[in-house]
């Protein structure tokens, strides 16, 4: 009787929208950092992809950090090739809204980025993030190599222990190798720098209270 809306379930590959062969966006340079958004990136840099709800606020969180070369928003680990934002919003592509973070490991470690990830959203909500409902808002860490996967898994266990100790739920974050990252439309790139507006996802870093379970 109270079936979950379709958007709140992860669809199967056979249900996915067909998409298209060509990219919907050819991103230019980073609106804030003025760096390229697409590869090839300088060889000393690493990259990782995070999904943590609406990608506007999450992207801003990461581009403000030292050692971050560029950030970009896109659609990740679903089935539909080259999806549009409207298609992703139907839940029929299985993509997650995601942030590509390219960083210099000499200045910014993966562990530091993971703190921003875990403490920058609620990783226990399944197919939603606060007011935003649907599989596109699920939590995920999409890794570039096995070493990243191990570090991400260790940090998941660390935060799960903290959550459990404080009576919180199980983490629903998906940790998986990154598949194709489809860049979102240009207007979504660095959205909160281009389009200042009140948005629940735009939380200044200095105002971000650490969640209760992170307290020592
Ligand atoms: N609730 C959000 C969703 C936008 S996001 C790019 C908003 O409209 O502010 O999914």
> At a CB cut-off of 8 Å and minimum separation 6, what does 27 contact?
37, 38, 72, 183, 186, 189
Q: Domain 5-196, what fold?
A: 3.30.1060
Of residues 167, 183, 189, 46, the one with CA closest to residue 114: 46
CA distances from 146 to 48, 153, 175 (A): 12, 10, 11
Q: From atom 7 of ligand 1, which residue's Cα is the shortest distance away? A: 199
Over the Cα atoms of the chain, what is R_g? Answer: 17
What do you get for the CA distance between the two ends of the chain, in Å? 43
Rounded to 5 degrees, φ, ψ at 69 are -80, -50
Alpha-helical runs (H) found in the chain: 55-63, 85-89, 110-119, 146-165, 191-194
Whole-prediction pTM: 0.92
Q: How far is CA 72 from the centre of its chain?
A: 10
| Number of residues that this document lists for the chain | 216
Q: What is the pLDDT of residue 119?
A: 93
Q: What is the pLDDT of residue 26?
A: 83
CA of 145 to the centre of ligand 1 (A): 30
Fill in the DSSP letter of residue 29.
B
Ligand 1: residue of 51, 55, 74, 132 to mutate (most ligand atoms within 8 A of CB) is 132
Q: What is the pLDDT of residue 152?
A: 98
Q: What is the pLDDT of residue 142?
A: 98
Neighbours of 130 (CB within 10 A): 13
Q: Residue ranges of the domains in the chain?
A: 5-196
Q: Contact, 25 vs 58, CB < 8 A? A: no
The stretches in the chain having pLDDT less than 50 are 205-209, 212-216
Q: From atom 8 of ligand 1, which residue's Cα is the shortest distance away? A: 199
Q: What is the pLDDT of residue 21?
A: 97
Q: What is the pLDDT of residue 4?
A: 60
């Amino acid at each position: 009787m109270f079936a979950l809306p379709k958007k709140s379930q992860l669809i199967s590959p056979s249900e996915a929208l067909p998409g298209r062969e060509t990219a919907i966006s050819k991103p230019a340079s980073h609106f804030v950092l003025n760096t390229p958004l697409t590869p090839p990136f300088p060889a000393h840099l690493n990259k990782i992809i995070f999904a943590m709800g609406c990608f506007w606020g999450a992207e801003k969180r990461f581009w403000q950090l030292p050692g971050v070369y560029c950030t970009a928003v896109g659609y990740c680990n679903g089935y539909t090739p080259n999806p549009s934002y409207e298609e992703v919003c139907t839940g029929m592509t299985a993509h997650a809204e995601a942030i590509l973070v390219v960083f210099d490991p000499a200045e910014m470690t993966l562990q530091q980025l993971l703190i921003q990830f875990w403490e920058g959203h609620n990783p226990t909500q399944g197919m939603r993030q606060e007011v935003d409902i649907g599989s596109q808002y699920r939590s995920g860490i999409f890794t570039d190599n096995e070493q990243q996967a191990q570090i991400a898994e260790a940090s998941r266990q660390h935060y799960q222990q903290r959550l459990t100790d404080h009576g919180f739920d199980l983490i629903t974050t998906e940790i998986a190798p990154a598949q194709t990252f489809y860049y979102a439309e240009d207007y979504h790139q660095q959205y909160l720098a281009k389009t200042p507006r009140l948005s629940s996802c735009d939380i200044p870093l200095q105002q971000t209270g650490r969640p209760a379970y992170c307290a020592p």
